[in-house]
Amino acid sequence: MSEQSEGKRPESSDGPRPQRLQRASGFRRPFFRRRKVCVFCADKTLTIEYKDPKLMGRFITERGKMVPSRITGICATHQRGLSKAIKRARNIALLPFVVK
């Protein structure tokens, strides 16, 4: 008897693929990214001041660079104020310019 008469599928590669392989390669789930919320807009009690190095330390890297707003989620208005405060704190030696 042949393979088709026994109810088995032929071993050729030109036949349809199994259902789970079609889903894995052809179907992509849409990528969902959570919207980042500005910390300063969400919590009105927080203020950007150059005298608070602990708060500004959250927005600089371990090398001393400012973290961009696309990473932190801060709005443009607060990012401008934060960058001014970081620069002021660097000038009076509350924050480092560069870490060795």
3-state secondary structure of 44: coil
Q: For 37-95, how does the pLDDT look when each residue is reduced to its tens digit (9 = 90+)?
A: 999 999 999 999 999 999 999 999 999 999 999 999 999 999 999 999 999 999 999 99
Give me the residue spans of the domains in the chain: 39-91
Global pTM value: 0.65
CA 69 to chain centre: 11
CATH code of the domain made up of 39-91: 4.10.640.10
Q: Using alpha carbons, select from 67, 97, 98 the residue that is nearest to residue 83.
A: 67
Distance CA 11, CA 3 (A): 9
